Structure 1
Amino acid sequence: MKVNIFRTLKDIDKELWNSIIKKNNISKSYDFLLSVEQSLNIENEYWYVMFWKNQELVAHTCIFTHYTKLEEVTDVFISIGLLNKIRKYHKNFLKLKLLGCGTPVATCSNVLTIKEEGFIEEVLSELNMILLDIGKKQKVASIMIRDFIGNHHKIGKQFLHYGYKEIESLPTSFVKIKWDNFEDYINSFKSKTKVKMRRNIKRFHSDELEAKLIEDFSPYVEAMNKLYKNVYKKAENKFEKLNEDFFTQINNNLDNTSKAILVFKGEEIVGIELIVEDEDYLRPLYVGLDYDFNEQYRLYFNMIYLIVKTGIERKKDYVELGQTCYLPKIKAGAYVEKMYMYIRFRNNLVNKLFGNSFYKMFKNFAYESAE
């Protein structure tokens, strides 16, 4: 098997990269990954690996470096105030430098594309050696391969043969679209839930709020980024921290498949949802809220309703509502599906001696039940 490694996606032919990607995998697409690379390139470095067999492209993936704050991935008590003071002078103090296979943006899917099942074993063997080699050169503490869900879980499990440990990540959530219109969706719930949903919707429509589906949201990226940061600051489980340029790049590179749901109060934007769409899936990526109006208008609940409504209107099979805040999503008809990632120390000896202790440090994430 022949392998090519590139440091930027711009050195790869777009049609060639996309040629082995099946439908409903927009997070693996050239345009999506290019948007990530172009906007999140200050702390992150990237490698794009292409696997060839008999001069045929049979697989590809993305590798990246990422700094993770220790306090965000463990339950060990650490004084945040003290850490912030130290990091003014030593910015990477108690930060783990990780090598990831995937993307620094949480997409609830892996970006390992393998054309046919018969190539899996050989590709994973080559990929493991590449990860260890890059990890050594980058002096990373550990290697992480994310995120495996559904049928892809059996592929992820094969990394156990190479010394990785399986960790259950935060699950994702889906709404299966089975209604012809939004009113049918509301009426599908039990009476008590239906009353609450209509009450939330009434509060949303009780004033001059207006929701719009925007295809070219370039004029609004500053406001979108500001509202996204509001949610990021309040989040208990923080993932990547985006910037304004991410919204710009998504708008520019995925012009036919990216959109934004914007909620206006007069001229002011008080709620946003960045969405991308596959052939059968609508995928909201990031929400943003003005918390001054959240309770008054039940903004978060209504953003979920708007996403489902958009999925119905655009004839999708599923809306993926993603990770965290599970209870409101379940109450809106979502089901939850587990996701897994695989992680190991780069050094084989350290991995054998301390691997199990290290993995136990990671939070045992749980989600609220629907009950």
Structure 2
Amino acid sequence: MVLGFIPLGDLSNICGNPSSKPNGVTFREQLGKARLRSSERMTADPPLAIPPMPPRLHLCPCNVVADAWGADRVEPCPIVQCSKELSVGWDSQGSGFMAAAPYQYDLATCVDDIDIKSWHQVCDSSGNPYLDLRFLRAVEISFAREASFWYLIARDESGRSVACTCFSRYLVDGVLMAPAVIQRGITGIRRFWPSFLKYKILLCGIPVSTCNHQLAIADHADRQRLLATLDTVAVKLARASGCPLISFKEFPPEIAVQMDALKDEGFLWARSVMAYSLKGEYGSFDGYYDTRSKSRRSKIRKTFRKLECAGLTCEERQGRDGVDQLFTDDVHRLYLNVLDRAHVKFEKIPVEFFRELARQLPDESCFTIFRKDNRIVGFCCGLRSHRQHHMLFCGLDYSLNSDAELYFNILYRGLSHGIIPGVKAVHIGAAADEFKQHIGCEGKPLSIYVKAVGTVRHFLLKQVFGLLFDTKPAPVPQLVQHTTEDYEPQEVRRAA
């Protein structure tokens, strides 16, 4: 409908006596002509049409829908009395604001309090052995003095599980991932200030270097909505437990692409370690040995001979074979020897972890043990899962390393323990990059996401983030290529 406005000139012609008839035209007729002229002028030059702004749609977590105006931020629902929070933003068509209510969730502080059925609904299909409740129980028991744990199950409106994860609080070294120059400078400062740049951090994960993450997401989950929910929970836990930083760790490239939505929540991306895996269904160590080049097979034979000449023996055990009794404090010191030489020292694994790993996972835990004169001088522990084997930690007496090549023997024998029929990948972990590439491993750069709690603290973190963390894209590791002259017929290999 177009509204007509009568010009003043037209009004002057009709403001006389309504009953008068100037020029034989009645007042009503003059009024009609004036409206017609005004309507024609407005049609030729119409005013700018301003459509009403789209109303903002608030979707309350209590399933109440209402229209309201508001700022683009996380805020309580202004329409209903609701203590829950909701996040809002533009809808996919850009026609208005749509709310994304956070997922409901259960939070337990002990493995024994977890809803086991809901946990398995999501985690069983992920194939992640580090979400096995028995493994998490081993971590919880062994780290009881150093860490706190929370276990989260996110659910949709129908009550279905959409994700499971573990949060933990742990004291870490702030320059863990910093370049060597920065680390040397901080080491000098810590001679006078031992706790400098050491702080509690809230991890989405566990305080154990598994070269893997502890987050399982169902296929039907809304990842953007889920990550916003996890961020909200993490901030609340960090504030309650006094953690200035939050970190989601450690994601391989194919998962990190999906986790990049954390950047929308203020997280900063950084590169973690390079994780190595030997892929291929070899069936046995002999099958793997046959695929190696002539020079590599020669080195393997030389390594094995050195072990025998040094008078060392090797045995393979599973957790049920009394490993918890074998793992004494003296054996644990072998692990500490390796930790002292490590470039990246994220955590110090307590002796109780190895014992609990054997107790909680008696059939899945694997231990390769080296002895000299009946004394344990080296070990490697691993975890077997569906069609995969994970090598976790090792320890050795470095006084025997030069004569027996003990470190290389531990890796080869641990690899042999993992390569069995049905296993398609053996995950060997990080470090020793050049050696692992030479034995045929593929490397994947892992990603972490870090966020400071509080606006001022997060601003300061941004200023120094590039100094404390590696933010450069990871180089693509190349497998060592061998020429055809390196290979020989299988009969010759078997004879050797």
TM over 0.5: yes
Match of 1:156 in 2: 259
- Which of 89, 100, 110 aligns to 1:8? It is 110
**Does 1 or 2 have the higher relative contact order (CA < 8 Å, sep 6+)?**
1
Match of 1:356 in 2: 462
Match of 1:287 in 2: 394
Matched residue SS, 2:208: coil
Native 8 Å contact 2:177 2:272 kept in 1: no
Answering whether residue 106 of structure 2 is matched by residue 106 of structure 1, we say no
Distance 1:141 1:167, change over 3 A: same
- State the Cα deviation string for residues 76-105 of structure 1 (Å, max 9, x = none): 243636625644xxxx44312211111110
Native 8 Å contact 2:168 2:204 kept in 1: yes
- Tell me the percent identity: 22
Question: 2 CA distance for matches of 1:13 and 1:133?
Answer: 22
Amino acid corresponding to residue 115 of structure 1 in structure 2: A
Shift of residue 230, structure 1, vs aligned partner: 0.9
Match of 1:67 in 2: 171
**Paired residues, number:** 366
Matched residue SS, 1:320: strand
Shift of residue 288, structure 1, vs aligned partner: 0.5
Distance 1:288 1:183, change over 3 A: same
Question: 2 CA distance for matches of 1:213 and 1:153?
Answer: 36
Match of 2:341 in 1: 234
Superposition TM-score, scaled by structure 1 size: 0.91
Question: 1 CA distance for matches of 2:346 and 2:378?
Answer: 20
Superposition TM-score, scaled by structure 2 size: 0.69
Aligned Cα root-mean-square deviation (Å) = 2.2
Question: 2 CA distance for matches of 1:164 and 1:79?
Answer: 25
Match of 2:484 in 1: none
- Following TM superposition, where does structure 1 have runs of at least 4 consecutive aligned residues deviating by more than 6 angstroms? 365-371
Structure 1, unaligned stretches of length 5 or more? Answer: none
Question: 1 CA distance for matches of 2:457 and 2:193?
Answer: 27
Native 8 Å contact 1:156 1:341 kept in 2: no
Distance 1:211 1:177, change over 3 A: farther
Native 8 Å contact 1:304 1:332 kept in 2: no
- State the Cα deviation string for residues 227-259 of structure 1 (Å, max 9, x = none): 111101111211210111111111111112112
Match of 2:279 in 1: 176
Distance 1:248 1:180, change over 3 A: closer
Shift of residue 342, structure 1, vs aligned partner: 0.5
- Which of 315, 320, 325 aligns to 2:427? It is 320
Shift of residue 31, structure 1, vs aligned partner: 0.9
Answering whether residue 453 of structure 2 is matched by residue 346 of structure 1, we say yes
Equivalent residues in 2 for 1:27-38, closer than 5 Å? 27-38=130-141
Matched residue SS, 2:296: helix
Structure 2, unaligned stretches of length 5 or more? Answer: 1-102, 481-496
Equivalent residues in 2 for 1:1-371, closer than 5 Å? 1-21=103-123, 22=125, 24-53=127-156, 54-75=158-179, 76=182, 77-78=184-185, 80=187, 83=190, 86-87=193-194, 92-215=195-318, 216=321, 217-222=323-328, 223-351=330-458, 353-364=459-470
Distance 1:62 1:84, change over 3 A: farther
